[in-house]
Amino acid sequence: MFNSDKPINSVERDCLNRSNFSKQLAKAIISYSNTNNCTISLCGKWGCGKTSIINMTINEINRLTRHFNENKKPIIIQFNPWNYSDGAQLVSQFFQTLSLKINLKNNSKLSRAGDVLDKYSSLFDYTAYIPIIGKYLDPLKSVISSLGVELKENALEKNSLENQKSKVIKALNELDQKIIVIIDDIDRLNNKQIRLIFQLVNSIAGFPNMIYLLSFDKNIVERALSDEQNCDGAEYLEKIIQVPFDVPDADISLIHKMLFNNLENIIKDDLQNNNFDKVHWNDVFSCCVSPFIKTIRDVNRIINAFQFKYSFMKNETNCIDLLAVTVAQIYDSSLYKWISNNIRILTGSMFSEKGISQIEQNNNKSKYIELFKKISKMQPEIAIQFVSALFPTFSWKIGGNNSTNYTNDELLQRQMIASRERSNIYFCLSLENITISKEQILSTINDYSKEQLCVFFDKLMKENILYDYVHLLSAYADQISADKQRLFIDELIRLQTIESNYKSDGMFDPIPGYECNRCCWKILKCIDKEKVCSVLLSIITDMTCDNLPIIADILYYIERSYGKIGEDFDYEHRIIDKEQLGKIETLLLSKISDLSYKFNFFDTISFLSIYRIWHFLENKSCDDYIRNKLSDAENVPKYLYMISGYWNGGQDSGWTFNEEKFSEVISKKDAYDKINSIKKTNAFSNLEYKYKEIAVAYYIWYNNFGSDYHNVSKKMVNEMIPEGDIQKKRQDYPA
């Protein structure tokens, strides 16, 4: 339910400790015993709670006078001038409201006063002579009514405004009770109406036993009076207002408390589910929210807009960041638009940023200060702090203190605006662009069986959104329960064996297979250190020829993490203790040996992955296997594809061959002879296009160069491959 901007009407609802002020104001009004009229002002900025104070004051007056004799009780009249469009109507309606309220009382003196007020008010319908501080306005167009020609002809003569006003004054002087007239929201009127209200109070209706309580923003009214009266508006007010009151400043901590109470009610699910980062909240509240909250009206504006957005965006955004973006949209639309337009350079973790010197940071900060001076309504330093609190990379570049030390995956899991994958959601009112929702991720993690997960992944591949899901799953890897970890690892390994997952629609589009590999590692790292070795042993035990390259890669990177393969220590993949490696190596080598008798490893998705770990663990059996398989000419292009070099020169690209890389398993001439033997056979036609390319490239290299210092270009290769094969290649591997 949205917060209305309606004022409170009882002390029980007072959250800003204004009730004591209202009580004192009520006592002051009641204790005023002079019969002369009195004008009291209640001044404060829009949204500071003036109307709420008036409501509590009225309640307190009624409470204090509840035991008064009916002939002594004050009469309270609330007049809303902004309901009337023109000056004559405003004055007429004021007196009609006054006389109507007085006539409702069962009191002879009041009845007489009501009658004369009624006649006084009727004159304003038939004359345009309105006294203003002892003078008259120029005559306007007179109005003829159904009261007849006689009233029209004699109104000014027999019942002039001054004569009738004297009768009103005499009748009101006889009263034993006060008439309290409250006129609120004067600052909502236009300049002419503002002037007329004060003329009304001071002269037209400056009657005895009347107390006026006027509520307005002093700056607005003074400016209006200065423009209309061509005088000093402040001095003009001083002549009219006898008792000025300023609304006491609300304790800002109480206003903040109102905000917090509203927020707690809105985001209670996030709070219960521990989806609320207190450290991040402290940054965002200090830099993005607190500077803009001055009044209750500010709280209501922010809460209403935030609640609307949160109601349908809560599952896909971070509630803290959504609140900050909402504040920017309300109070500084230019900064909001700038953030939206520059979101790609603002997002990401500070860990992905390169080192930067303090001089560069200072220069960047100066640059942004000058930029924000031009585009933002905020002070540039406040704008700097606002953006820094939301975007750690921006904070890092300008030398700020953002405390959000999250990785990219952590930003994504928390659905923060600094996450590249989630940032654009904050600037739209549609979630149609979200291919995978948080709800879907959590549902698959918590509820799906192996069969359901398999069907789901196949559906993702069909819809070409596998990458989107797996990328998001990586961020939630630590939320996969121990009993589900193996299930997801098996499925991710399976997905890496599907060759189509290594293709993309465009040159720069992400490749699902690589993301599956990254996600698989994320889950492996989340497994309890004491259990991960047994999990790996179990995976290897269940290994097939299809997934052998993927599992071989896992061990390869573990070996690298301890420096056993390669020159650099890759600590990121050190998921088991070094002492446990022996068990895994022995089991993997045994499984490779068993599978090598049954399958042709050259037909797997990546023989290179098998080769590099097998050759490391036992190079002799690996080389023997290759020699044996290379006796079949169809396997030679597949082997050469693995060991060839690839170059890219800008204008063209192609291959080169180093005899030293393959001479131990096949001679240069023997490789050529075997390729030449299948050149015009079905065996060659049935090869994948990439193997045809490498076969032709080697054929050219052998015949024309035969050394390691010459490259074979794709252009040369394509000239020798039949056009039909090229067309098929374009269908299988679209650019």
User: At 133, is the pLDDT very low, low, confident or very high (cuts 50, 70, 90)?
Assistant: very low
Cα–Cα distance for residue pair 489/470, rounded to 1 Å: 12
- Contact (Cβ atoms closer than 8 angstroms) between residue 9 and residue 59: yes
Residue 454, class by beta-carbon neighbours within 10 Å (0-12 exposed, 13-18 middle, 19+ buried)?
middle
Q: For 643-680, how does the pLDDT look when each residue is reduced to its tens digit (9 = 90+)?
A: 999 888 777 889 999 888 888 999 999 999 999 999 88
pLDDT at residue 140 greater than cutoff 70: no
In 230-357, which residue ranges form alpha helices assigned H by DSSP? 233-240, 252-266, 268-272, 278-284, 296-313, 319-331, 333-341, 343-346
Q: What is the mean pLDDT of the chain?
A: 84
Question: How many other C-beta atoms can be found within 10 angstroms of the C-beta atom of residue 522?
Answer: 20
pLDDT at residue 158 greater than cutoff 70: no
- Contact (Cβ atoms closer than 8 angstroms) between residue 688 and residue 675: no
Cα–Cα distance for residue pair 378/382, rounded to 1 Å: 6
Say what the pTM is.
0.68
pLDDT at residue 395 greater than cutoff 80: yes
Quick one: which of 196, 173, 160 has its CA closest to 79? 196
Backbone angles phi, psi at 511, to 5 degrees: -110, 120
Question: How many other C-beta atoms can be found within 10 angstroms of the C-beta atom of residue 169?
Answer: 16
pLDDT at residue 238 greater than cutoff 90: no
- Summarize the confidence of residues 203-231 as an average pLDDT: 85
Confidence (pLDDT) at 156: 46
User: At 635, is the pLDDT very low, low, confident or very high (cuts 50, 70, 90)?
Assistant: very high
User: At 164, is the pLDDT very low, low, confident or very high (cuts 50, 70, 90)?
Assistant: confident
Confidence (pLDDT) at 711: 86
Annotated domain spans of the chain: 11-246, 252-427, 438-619, 635-732
Task: Kindly give, in sequence order, each residue whose CB lies less than 8 Å from that of residue 17, ignoring residues fewer than 6 positions away.
Answer: 250, 251, 254
pLDDT at residue 5 greater than cutoff 80: no
Q: For 398-424, how does the pLDDT look when each residue is reduced to its tens digit (9 = 90+)?
A: 988 777 788 888 899 899 999 988 888
Count CA atoms within 13 Å of residue 290 on its CB side.
Answer: 15
For residue 216, give the H/E element and its range. Answer: strand 210-216
Residue 207, class by beta-carbon neighbours within 10 Å (0-12 exposed, 13-18 middle, 19+ buried)?
buried
Cα–Cα distance for residue pair 523/482, rounded to 1 Å: 10
Confidence (pLDDT) at 460: 93
Cα–chain center distance at 389: 13
Q: Beta partners for 214?
A: 41, 183
DSSP 476-537: TGGGS-HHHHHHHHHHHHHHHT-GGGG--SSTTS--HHHHHHHHHHHHHHHS-TTTHHHHHH
Quick one: which of 661, 732, 663, 671 has its CA closest to 701? 671
Q: Which amino acid is at 486?
A: R
Q: For 528-560, how does the pLDDT look when each residue is reduced to its tens digit (9 = 90+)?
A: 988 999 999 999 999 999 999 999 999 999 999
Confidence (pLDDT) at 84: 67
Lowest-pLDDT choice from 5-14, 401-410, 429-438, 685-694: 5-14
How far apart, in Å, are the Cα atoms of 91 and each of 80, 193, 196, 239? 12, 10, 8, 21
Confidence (pLDDT) at 85: 60
Cα–Cα distance for residue pair 698/684, rounded to 1 Å: 14
Lowest-pLDDT choice from 124-138, 279-293, 326-340, 417-431: 124-138
Confidence (pLDDT) at 552: 95
Cα–Cα distance for residue pair 473/452, rounded to 1 Å: 16
Quick one: which of 514, 322, 344, 504 has its CA closest to 416? 322
Lowest-pLDDT choice from 184-198, 483-497, 622-636: 184-198
Confidence (pLDDT) at 725: 57
Quick one: which of 187, 178, 254 has its CA closest to 214? 187
The CATH number assigned to the domain with range 11-246 reads 3.40.50.300
- Summarize the confidence of residues 308-329 as an average pLDDT: 91
| Sheet containing strand 75-79, strands side by side | 75-79, 179-183, 210-216, 38-43, 243-246
Q: Own/partner pairs for 641-645, CB < 8 Å, 24+ apart? A: 641/690, 641/691, 641/694, 642/607, 642/608, 642/611, 644/694, 644/697, 644/698
DSSP 196-215: HHHHIIIIIT--TTEEEEEE
Cα–Cα distance for residue pair 558/555, rounded to 1 Å: 5
Q: Is 348 left (phi over 0), alpha (psi -120 to 50) or beta?
A: left
Quick one: which of 186, 180, 131, 184 has its CA closest to 156? 131
Confidence (pLDDT) at 13: 65
Lowest-pLDDT choice from 64-68, 130-134, 330-334, 431-435: 130-134
Confidence (pLDDT) at 580: 92
